[in-house]
Chains A and B, each alone.
Chain A
Amino acid sequence: MKILACYSNKGGVGKTASSVNLAYACAMSGRKTLLCDLDPQAASGFYFRVKPSKKLENIAFFKDQEKLLDSIRASDFENLELLPANLSFKDFDIFLDRMKKSSSRLKKALKVTRSEYDVVILDCPPNISMLSENVFRAADRIVVPVIPTTLSARTLEQLYAFFEEEGFSKKKLLPFFSMVQMNKKLHRETIQALRKEYKMLKPQVPFSTDVERMGVNRAPVATFAPKSAASIAYRAVWQEVEKHL
């Protein structure tokens, strides 16, 4: 089983859309996939119409393997299951802080899913915290959506610096451009600059109303707009990521 995290220390970069669409592409490639929503906003679950888990509250995520497995829900798509989040996930850092070996708790908690899935995708909340350290430790690879703007470039820089400082393997990081608007000069220039500095994934996901419509359709973009540029781009990103797993 491989763990793929979808992470950015900046909000609003298309993390959940990426998690949902990459999880769908992964499942469609024939891999048994679990999308694990770590974000208390529970948006991944919303996109799949799965209601927030009631049983998996507070510390249960890290302590109760049976409850964790019981909280997994089938999506409407083959090979794709979900571990929905709930509001109590906002206190993950508090729980982790109280526990021993607090930075490897997530890896330990996810061990129970190892025999069932080929890939577990983590949809992570946007901050650098105890939980994100757990994510960096547990994940085999981390996809980082980056909007080609100055602010996004700065947060990517911060992330690499953090990895350097904390001794995490930078090879795990797979940044890719998200919400790209090539008609904007700033986007074009930022892309050019960042590609020089970092090993960005080749495919880039365009800004798209189809991705926004995911909230209305409550489904991955490939299911209702399979030929859209965004859908094709997410599939291409997945195919690149797949090579690194």
Chain B
Amino acid sequence: MDVKIARPFVFMADLTVTRGQLQKKLPVDSSFTVMMEKGVKLTGHCIDTFDNLLLKAGKMLFEVNDTLMFVDLRAGDTAEQDVTGEWRFVDQLPDGPVTEELRKISLLRAFLPVGKVKLRFDSGLLLDDEQKTLARFRQLILKCGEKHLTLGVTAMLRGYTPEHQILVEILQKSGAQSCDSFEDLYRQLGIKDSSYTSKPDPGLAADTTAKNAAVTIISALLDVARQNEAGTAADIDSEFLHDYRVSLRKVRSVLSLFKGTFSVEETEVLKEQFAALMHPTSQLRDLDVYLMREEEYMEMVPESAREGIGLLFSYLEDERELALRTVVTCLRSEDYKIQMETLTRKFSKTKNLKNGPTSSRRAHEVGSKLIYKRYRKVCQIASGVNSSTPSSEVHQLRIHCKKLRYLMEFFAPFFPAESIGLLIRKLKKMQDTLGNFNDYSVQQHFLQKILKEKMDVFADEELTVSNSIGALTAMLHQKQLVERQKVEKNFIQFNSVETRNLFKQLFSSERGDAQ
């Protein structure tokens, strides 16, 4: 049955929708006609990030000869821009309409060729007996080897809603199907198998045990880490290492937060193993984070201190080269491969891990208890935070918030998505301030470390660099104080009656009004 649609119809079809087909599907007594303009056949590369950010946003990018063509699959809009030479990151492109769109997608991820495709843009109109346009549509025809796909969208014109509906109906009768998500498109075209995501849904059953949940989550996280190894070693972009480390950090969090799920001895061994796995990559990630901040730092300090910051960053770049070599050597070593394969195998089956006291309890029950306990801890510390609270306590609060967030994310599948999503968003807001507070603190320590231990590498320019580090540290300290002031206010916002009630309602064994 055809569904009435009072909005643009976003569609997909296995075959090309032709004018002839559409015209034939019009009602017999209709005085309308369909007009179509076929575009030029082009051959080029489809481009996306490793994690398909473009496609996830309903966009596609093609590089055809020296032109970049950007398509918004939901709106039907296109943008074009000339491109010369090699590029991988948005900041390597000159300003232009495509660059502007790509900036909204990612500044950090590399844009890589996904596959070679043939493409053509067609446009169509539904006209009345006076040749007035009543509705429009655009379609993109993609061909890759034998695979063939048409993607299109209609445009509604004011005052012509019933006529638009006629266009939708004849498109549907010609094989166009409504399309909400494009995520499977590369696979359908046979150009990319991976539908990588850094946050996979482990697919946990509602009544699963704590142990089964932990094993399933860790297994999915290990899979994410493994998928990022090649990109990290090839140094394609900084996000490979970031995702790699985040997934391993989450594994460690599961091990420490799901207390009693595995035996104490095994938990300790695993915690050490994962800590050791992460260790060789820490320095590279730290340096990546600093290098991303070059522009920000330059803007923070007065003109006179910029030369020193420049020297500092060129030192950091050299250090990064060395740190990258360490990471590549590690990731390509036999030891590493064996270790990862062993861990992957271990977490492929629940029975491979020794039981702890809470193994067989329901994940929902364990999760509720852990979350509510951690939430109360957060409230206890946060409620005492004021302008005179020592920084160490603010750091403690940050750590508890982070653990609470991880717990809520791990156990999210066992609670109503809307409620837990709302609480996570509220928590995230508070964490942002705490995160900034911590970042400024870590950055100051890092600079002090360079000042204490590494100044000899700057030889004659030591004074220039140390003065700049001084200026930068002062600015970072100022910024840290600003964030510090926000913590108390943010907690008051987080600690609303509604939030308290929702936490209690979702996670506490004594349900009811938290007031």
Contact = CB atoms under 8 A, between A and B. Distances in A.
B159 A73 contact: yes
Interface string B119-152: 0000000001011110000000000000000000
Contacts of B128: 49, 51
A72 B158 contact: yes
A73 B130 contact: no
B159 A70 contact: yes
Nearest to A77: B133
Q: Is the interface of B mostly helix, strand, loop or mixed?
A: loop
Contact of B158 (A49, A51, A73): A73
A74 B158 contact: yes
Interface in A45-89: 48-51, 70-74, 76, 81
Interface string A27-52: 00000000000000000000011110
Nearest to B156: A74
B275 interface: no
Interface residues of B, number: 9
A218 interface: yes
A48 B128 CA distance: 12
B44 to A, nearest CB: 28
Nearest to B125: A76
B133 A76 contact: yes
Contact of A71 (B130, B131, B159, B160): B159
B130 A49 contact: yes
A50 B128 CA distance: 10
B492 interface: no
A74 B157 contact: yes
Interface in A170-215: none
B125 to A, nearest CB: 9
B163 to A, nearest CB: 11
Contacts of A218: 130-131
Contacts of A48: 132
A81 B158 contact: yes
Contacts of A49: 128, 130-132
A81 B157 CA distance: 10
Contacts of A81: 158-159
Contacts of A72: 158-159
B166 to A, nearest CB: 16
Contacts of A50: 132
A74 B160 contact: yes
16 contacts: A48-B132, A49-B130, A49-B131, A49-B132, A51-B128, A51-B130, A71-B159, A72-B158, A73-B159, A74-B133, A74-B157, A74-B159, A74-B160, A76-B133, A81-B159, A218-B131
The 10 lowest CB-CB distance pairs between A and B, nearest first, are A73-B159, A49-B132, A74-B157, A74-B158, A49-B130, A76-B133, A72-B159, A81-B158, A72-B158, A74-B159
Given A73-B157, A74-B157, 16 more contacts: A49-B130, A49-B132, A50-B132, A51-B128, A51-B132, A70-B159, A71-B159, A72-B158, A73-B158, A73-B160, A74-B133, A74-B158, A74-B160, A76-B132, A81-B158, A218-B130
